[in-house]
A and B are shown apart, each in its own frame.
Chain A
Amino acid sequence: MDPPDDLDEYLRGDSALSRQYRRESTPTTPRALDRRVRKISREAHGTAQRLTQCLAPLAFAASVLLSVALVLAIVFGPQTARRVDDAPRLVRVAAHADSSPNAPLNRARQLYSSDPQHLRAPSAWLADIAALRRAGRNSEADAELRRFRSAYPAYSADFAIRP
């Protein structure tokens, strides 16, 4: 067991050992070393400042661009958002072939993909197109018909989809 007084006395401070060490412990950093460290600090600080100076105008330009884009979207949004035939290949069709002309369309099944992996069966697709015709939505029916023919070029089904 170590006697406690050695360490305790030392930690209280002002021990003979500490006084002796402080008398002898005099070396300081060489000036050249000081200069090098201060240079490292200055360069790092300068780099950070340059980055800030470069990024501030970029951030401002990005903000302006974003604002302009938002304004354009608000002003011209409804026109640009109008669907055209060749735009996103997700289509709206009626849900059931046997719906009456006045029956509401089944909105829960309106989105269909033209991805070959997810093509609808021709009969179901034609039935939907016929339902659009009966509902008087001829432009949508025409668009769907073009997509149908693109997907099934050999399929003859004019009887079901004429206006």
Chain B
Amino acid sequence: MLGHMEPLDEDAMLMVRYRDGDADAFSTLYARHKGPLYRYLLRQVRNAGAAADLFQDVWWRLIANRARYEARAKFATYLFHIAHNCTIDFFRRDLTMRRAARSDDADAQVEPEVPEYQRPDGIAEFAEQQSALLAALGALPREQREAFLLHEETGLTIEEIARVTDVGLETAKSRLRYAIRKLKQSLLPAQIPDAQPLRTRTI
């Protein structure tokens, strides 16, 4: 999905320099993208500890694979494609752990071992810091939330969001459309009077 040729952006050139041994180029890249990436991960997994782990993992993957980097697309699509894959892995692991915990709980009737970030107190702590908008964002289906975050945090176009998330253009467009409609309607009815009725369909 990332093989499409595009004019190189400045960050892609920085990544090429980093690949070729310029450590300062990484510092610039990191400074530019750490905030959007951290918020993307934080909003996606909705837990500060897990987001921190994933944040490290994304940068580690980028660093470890820098020798194979080819500037074929906007750098943000490369970075967030890694991030997307990391979150997919995270949600898979999370699902497996929950299933295992449920199974153990049913068998032994003891409290299952779950990561700290999945415990109710951790989730509650995170929820307290949320505004109404972020709470509504968190209530969105993961795919719709991701489309919204990618656009808001990185300015990616729908085509680029489709590439990052490995889906078709229309799917990416639908996800973003439903996300903004739900967010507008559920959070800001007074400020956006022409908001459309809330739909519950997920993509």
**A contact residues vs B (CB 8 Å cutoff):** 2-3, 6-7, 10-11, 15-18, 20-22, 24-25, 27-30, 33-34, 36-38, 40-42, 44-45, 48-49
Contact = CB atoms under 8 A, between A and B. Distances in A.
Given A44-B64, A48-B21, A17 B196 contact: no
A33 B188 contact: no
B131 interface: yes
29 contacts: A2-B174, A7-B176, A10-B176, A11-B151, A16-B184, A16-B192, A17-B188, A18-B152, A20-B133, A21-B133, A21-B137, A24-B134, A25-B134, A25-B152, A27-B39, A27-B42, A33-B38, A33-B55, A37-B30, A37-B55, A37-B60, A40-B56, A40-B60, A41-B27, A41-B59, A44-B63, A44-B64, A44-B66, A45-B21
Contact of B180 (A10, A42, A44): A10
Given A7-B177, A21-B152, 16 more contacts: A2-B177, A3-B196, A6-B184, A11-B151, A11-B158, A16-B192, A17-B183, A20-B187, A24-B134, A27-B42, A29-B35, A33-B55, A33-B56, A40-B60, A41-B30, A44-B63
Contact of B188 (A20, A34, A36): A20
B138 to A, nearest CB: 12
Interface residues of B, number: 39
A42 B23 contact: yes
Contacts of B38: 27-29, 33
Interface in B33-86: 34-35, 38-39, 42, 52, 55-56, 59-60, 63-64, 66
Given A6-B177, A24-B133, A29-B35, A37 B59 contact: yes
